[in-house]
């Protein structure tokens, strides 16, 4: 089945370019276009697409606000944030709201395809060109064990709990226990938030996160 997508961007040329790219790709199905966040939310509730490509700055409601709505409603739609800005605040706000991907509009179109593949596999995708926005970090360490660190990085690359269990030769229950411990230690609710906390305190380097974005994640 084709991957269902909606596009939301207040710039007509950008929106039409993204829509054209989706229509030309046989693996994708465009379910709707929106010029603002309010219309984007209406389309998401109506169609429940696999992917929502959201501009981070839109009239009505911005991409971050729409992402929070999706998360609060428990919808399965995964968000890839599109922006012209690579500031740390935009990256942090997007992932903390629940977005699974962050892609700069100035990047090559193949970055979007890579991002879609990664987030559909359950991973987190960060545009390599946005890496500098996250290179500054605080020096205080976060108390993850070496195994918890391994588990979080693998999960963020799109590997399932079953995959991680096999790769690390531990039970699925143990993998889940490590994830629960990570979320408790970092006081967060998602792998996106956990990764950001890890970056903030130097548990992971930006280069490690970018490297994970360049790997082929398995399909679910």
The answer to whether the CB of 144 falls within 8 A of the CB of 199 is no
Q: Please give the average per-residue pLDDT across 199-216, as a whole number.
A: 60
In angstroms, the CA 149 to CA 203 distance is 8
Q: Is the pTM of this model over 0.85?
A: no
Q: Which residue has the higher pLDDT, 42 or 60?
A: 42
Furthest C-alpha separation in the chain: 50
Q: Is the pLDDT of residue 216 over 70?
A: no
Q: What secondary structure letter does DSSP report for 1? A: -
pLDDT tens profile 110-144: 889 999 998 998 888 888 777 665 555 554 445 78
User: Is the per-residue pLDDT at 218 higher than 70?
Assistant: no
Judged by phi (left if over 0) then psi (alpha if -120 to 50, else beta), residue 165 lies in alpha
CA pair distance 84, 82, nearest whole angstrom: 7
The domains spanning 3-133 and 146-214 adopt the same CATH topology: no
Model confidence pLDDT, tens digit, residues 157-206 = 778 899 999 999 999 999 999 999 998 888 877 777 787 777 767 777 66
Does residue 31 contact residue 43 with C-beta atoms inside 8 Å? yes
Residue 214 has pLDDT above 50, yes or no: no
Can you give the pLDDT at residue 154?
Answer: 85
First to last CA, the chain: 14
Tell which wins on pLDDT, 75 or 217: 75
Q: pLDDT-based confidence at 149, cuts 50/70/90?
A: confident
Burial-class residue 131 by CB neighbours within 10 Å (0-12, 13-18, 19+). middle
pLDDT of 156: 76
pLDDT at residue 38 greater than cutoff 80: yes
According to the model, what pLDDT value does residue 45 have? Answer: 96
CA distance 31 to 80: 16
Residue 53's closest CA among 110, 105, 128?
A: 105
Identify the CATH homologous superfamily for domain 3-133: Response regulator (3.40.50.2300)
As a whole number of angstroms, the distance between CA 104 and CA 90 comes to 11
Alpha helices in the chain (DSSP H): 12-24, 37-47, 63-73, 88-97, 110-120, 146-156, 161-168, 172-186, 191-200, 206-214
Structural domain 146-214, CATH architecture: Orthogonal Bundle (1.10)
The per-residue pLDDT of the chain, averaged, comes to 84
Q: Greater confidence, 34 or 158?
A: 34
Lowest mean pLDDT among 15-24, 28-37, 143-152, 203-212: 203-212
Q: What residue spans define the domains of the chain?
A: 3-133, 146-214
Residue (of 82, 111, 112, 99) closest to 14 by Cα position: 82
Length reported for the chain:
220
Q: Of the segments 100-109, 133-142, 151-160, which one has the largest average pLDDT value?
A: 100-109
Q: Given this model, what pLDDT does residue 66 score?
A: 95
The pLDDT of residue 206: 62
pLDDT at 63: 92
pLDDT band at 2; cut points 50, 70, 90: very high
pLDDT at 95: 79
């Amino acid at each position: 089945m084709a991957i269902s997508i909606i596009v939301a961007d207040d710039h007509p040329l950008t929106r039409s370019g993204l829509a054209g790219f989706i229509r030309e790709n046989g693996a994708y199905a465009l379910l709707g276009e929106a010029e603002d966040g309010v219309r984007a939310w209406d389309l998401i509730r109506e169609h429940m697409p696999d992917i929502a490509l959201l501009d981070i700055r839109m009239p009505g409601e911005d991409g971050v606000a729409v992402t929070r709505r999706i998360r609060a409603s428990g919808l399965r739609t995964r968000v890839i944030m599109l922006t012209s800005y690579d500031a740390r605040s935009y990256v942090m706000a997007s992932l903390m709201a629940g977005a699974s991907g962050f892609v700069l509009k100035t990047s090559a179109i193949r970055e979007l395809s890579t991002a879609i593949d990664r987030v559909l596999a359950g991973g987190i995708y960060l545009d390599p060109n946005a890496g500098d926005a996250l290179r500054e970090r605080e020096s205080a360490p976060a108390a993850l064990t070496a195994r918890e660190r391994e588990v979080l990085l693998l999960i963020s690359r799109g590997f399932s709990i079953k995959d991680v269990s096999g790769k690390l030769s531990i039970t699925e229950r143990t993998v889940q226990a490590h994830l629960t411990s990570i979320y408790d230690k970092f006081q967060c609710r998602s792998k996106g938030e956990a990764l950001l906390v890890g970056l903030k305190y130097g548990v992971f380097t930006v280069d490690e996160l970018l490297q994970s974005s360049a790997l082929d994640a398995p399909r679910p």
